[in-house]
Amino acid sequence: MPDLPVAYHFAVLAVLVLGLATVLLNLTCFDGLTPALPPGRDARRVSILVPARNEERCIGPCIKSLLAQDYPNFELIVLDDQSSDATPHLLDELGLRPDNPHRRVIRGQPLPAGWVGKNWACDQLARAATGEFLFFTDADTTHATGTVSAAVAYAERRRASLVSAWPRLVTVTWGEKLIIPMILLLGMTHYPHWLLLALQRWPRVAQVLPKALLSVLGAGNGQFMFWRRAAYDTVGGHDALRAHLVEDVALGRAVAGRIGEGLRLFNCDALRFSTCRMYRSFGETWEGFTKNLWPAFEARLAVFCFVGATQLCAYFTPCLLLWLKWNSADRPWLAAQVGLIVTIRILLTVRYRTSWLSCLLHPLAELFGIAIALNSWRLARHRGVMWKGRRYTTSSSSSSS
């Protein structure tokens, strides 16, 4: 096999050095929720909002952890989105009733045309909520007793419009351990969270930048979205993106696009407070990421292809070539490239306490990630993806039950 051009090696190294620099800057700027004493009885009201559709495996621990919050002024509202399993029965056992004003369950209305199920559920929850803060969290999460107190303190300290916190990702099966940490690799190498924070410190600069440019800097994590109610209403809430399959990223972008108008978005760690087990098998992981990957790019094929090419050429190919060309003159170049990849993976694994399996089997994880991305694009453009008994054709299409 002939030696590779030096220009090729420099190009790959440049991408990886940029990725490492972005990770280091993001990790430096990404602070975390910290313990806070519960405020007094005059504390602002927080509405804890949980959409639930067929969540019998996880709804119990989630609701118990939320009921145990030490914050003195909160309401818990769970929307049962027409579940066909034991979810309604479990909610009843936990004491949630339609007529309980502080700990209640509401029965979801049928899904209208043009809506994604979770967005419709969250819209109904928001309309039922009475708090100054809206805390949307998923049914597959659990939360320490001081989570709400910490979130309120963080939001007040930062004057945040939206706090999107990242729980510790719990993985058990090999498929979860291998693939789920790839979220962090993509999110921390391709999203300049540090730049958004800098622009929020210099609002005059943000005011002269186009909203479209600001919005691409935004992101969010639907597992933990802590809103000021006024900001949620300002961006239109879930109603403004009723057909978007990746509503958390879209909402983060909506806030980021308006930081020049005074809104403020903060992504942070919730590792000390919250956990989330997203999926429970390789099949669920494949299906869930297939649903999300292409819609996350909002039908921007050029960006989708660019990120995919970056992952293939810079984060996978060096590992393969180092093995194939071990005895060639390219080995020092390839070793340096793989060294940068390993450094990035170790930094993220240590910081977010994810499984080492994905780090050790990085080339295999990359292959699965690329395959899932291609499958997501293929299904979204043709017959659509299935999720919780509903079919979605594209990121902006209607669904059918």
* Nearest C-alpha neighbor of 80 from the set 54, 47, 58, 113: 54
Exposure of 1 in the CB half-sphere (CA atoms within 13 A)? 13
User: Token pair 């809103």 is at which residue?
Assistant: 227
- The domain limits of the chain are 31-173+191-282
Average of pLDDT values for 161-182? 97
Asked if the model's pLDDT at residue 188 lies above 60, the reply is yes
Mean pLDDT of the region 248-273: 96
What is residue 40's predicted lDDT score, i.e. its pLDDT? 86
Higher pLDDT, 392 or 9: 9
Q: Residue 400: what pLDDT?
A: 35
Q: What is the DSSP letter of 167?
A: P
Query: Residues 318-372: pLDDT tens digits?
Result: 999 999 999 999 999 999 999 999 999 999 999 999 999 999 999 999 999 999 9
Which residue's structure tokens are 């300049």?
Answer: 192
- pLDDT at res. 116: 93
Rounded to whole angstroms, what are the CA distances from 76 to 34, 197, 205, 349, 369? 22, 31, 39, 33, 36
pLDDT of residue 394: 58
Question: Is 399's pLDDT higher than 60?
Answer: no
Let me know: does 234 contact 297? Beta carbons within 8 Å.
Answer: no
**Residues with Cβ within 8 Å of residue 96, at least 6 apart in sequence:** 63, 76, 78, 103, 104, 105
- Tell me, rounded to whole angstroms, the distance of Cα 195 from its chain centroid: 18
Percentage above 90 pLDDT, the chain: 87
- Residue 225 pLDDT more than 60? yes
Q: How far apart are the first and last CA of the chain?
A: 54
Count of other CB atoms within 10 angstroms of residue 39: 15
Query: What token pair was written down for 229?
Result: 């109610």
Is residue 75 predicted with pLDDT exceeding 50? yes
Mean pLDDT value of segment 178-201: 95
Burial (0-12, 13-18, 19+ Cβ within 10 Å), 143:
buried
Give the count of beta carbons closer than 10 Å to the beta carbon of residue 203.
13
pLDDT tier for residue 299 given thresholds of 50, 70 and 90 = confident
For 31-173+191-282, CATH number out of 3.90.1310.10, 3.90.550.10, 3.90.1150.110, 3.40.190.10 equals: 3.90.550.10
247 by DSSP, 3-state: which? Answer: helix
Question: Partners of 62 in the beta sheet?
Answer: none
SS3 state at 107: strand
| pLDDT mean across residues, the chain | 93
Q: What is the mean pLDDT of residues 190-212?
A: 92
pLDDT at 395: 42
Mean pLDDT for the stretch of residues 289-306:
90
Cβ proximity of 240 and 185 under 8 Å? no
What confidence category does residue 391 fall into, taking pLDDT thresholds of 50, 70 and 90?
confident
Instruction: With a cut of 80, say whether residue 396 has pLDDT above it.
Output: no
- Over residues 34-71, the pLDDT tens digits come to 999 998 888 999 999 999 999 999 999 999 999 999 99
Residue 379 near residue 212 (C-beta atoms within 8 A) = no
Instruction: Say what percent of the chain tops pLDDT 70.
Output: 98
**Which pLDDT belongs to residue 397?**
39
Q: What is the mean pLDDT of residues 281-293?
A: 92
Look up the pTM and report it. Answer: 0.93
